[in-house]
A and B are shown apart, each in its own frame.
Chain A
Amino acid sequence: MNTFQITFWFLSALAVFSSLMVITRKNPVYSVLFLIITFFAISGHYILMNAQFLAIVNIIVYAGAIMVLFLFVLMLMNLNKESEQQKNKYLLWSSGIAGGMLMIVLIAALDTPDPAIITKPGTGEIGLIKNLGTKLFTDYVVPFEISSILFLSAMVGAVVIGKKGD
C-alpha cells in the first residue's frame, strides 16, 4: 500500500464520517463545521486526481464563502435555544431505509467489475489554470457570460427578498 492509497482511504473515511456527522448532529453549527471538513476532504481528492485549480476553488468558494454565509445565517437566527423537534420514529426509520436502499441500488447499477480501469496519480495537466482557462475562454465563453448574468440576477433577487419592510 503506497502513499497514494493511504491518502485515498484516509480522505474517503474522513469524508464519509464527517458527512454522517453533518446529518446526525443536533446543533446546526456543528453540522456546518463538519460540512467544512467534508469539503476539505473532497478537495484532497481533487488534488490526488491532479485537479489543483478545482481543489483551491472548492476551498475558497465552498469552505470559505458559502459556509461562512451559512454560519452568518445560523448566528443571525440564534437557533440553539430550542432544539429541533423530531419527527415520529417511523418516519425517521423509513427515510433512513429509503436512503440506504438508494445507495444499494446505485452501487449495484454503477459498479464496474473491471478493476483495470484505474486513475493514475501524478499524471496529466488538465487541472492547471492554463489549460482550464484556455478552454473556458475559447469554447465555453458563452456559458461563462451567462453565468455572470445568473450571478447578477441572484444578487438582485437576494437583495429584493432580504429587504426589510415593503
Chain B
Amino acid sequence: MPISYYIFLAVIIFSIGVTGVLTRRNSIIVFMCIELMLNAVNLLLVAFSKLHHQRMLALDPANITAGTEGQLFVFFIMVVAAAEVSVGLAIIVLMYRNVHSVDINFLNRLKN
C-alpha cells in the first residue's frame, strides 16, 4: 500500500483520540483516548520501519536488519504505556475514593 494511506489512517486515529480527550469528562475514557493516540503513533512507526527496511534492502541486499530500530521504539512505547497506565489508574482510583467521582472537573479540588 502507498505510505500515504498509512499516514492518513494514523492521523485519523490520532485525531479521534485528541477529540475524545477534548470532549469526554470521564477521566478513564480520557485515559483510553491517550492509549488510542499512542497506538496511532505505533502504527505509523511500524509503517515507516517497513519502508526504511525495503529501501535499505534495495540498496544493499546483505543489510537484512535495517529498520529494526523502528519496531524497537514501538516496543519501548508499549513499555512506557504500561507503566503509565498502572500509575494513572492508581491515581484515578485514589481520586474516586476521595471525591466519589471520576469527572475531570472534580480535579479542580486538588488545588485546595
Contact = CB atoms under 8 A, between A and B. Distances in A.
A135 B69 contact: yes
B83 A151 contact: yes
B110 to A, nearest CB: 14
Interface residues of B, number: 73
Main secondary structure of the interface of A (DSSP, over half): helix
Main secondary structure of the interface of B (DSSP, over half): helix
A135 B91 contact: no
Contacts of B5: 8, 12
B1 A157 contact: no
Given A23-B29, A46-B46, A99 B72 contact: no
For the side of the interface on A, what is the size category? 35 or more
Interface string A150-166: 11011101100110100
Please name the 9 residue pairs, one residue from A and one from B, whose CB atoms are nearest each other, closest first.
A99-B19, A95-B22, A23-B20, A103-B15, A154-B83, A161-B90, A158-B90, A162-B90, A106-B11
Interface of A: 4-5, 8, 12, 15-16, 19-20, 22-23, 28, 31-32, 35, 38-39, 42, 45-46, 49-51, 53-54, 57-58, 61-62, 65-66, 69-70, 73-74, 76-77, 79, 84-87, 92, 95-96, 98-100, 102-103, 106-107, 110-113, 115, 117-120, 123-127, 131-132, 134-136, 140, 143, 147, 150-151, 153-155, 157-158, 161-162, 164
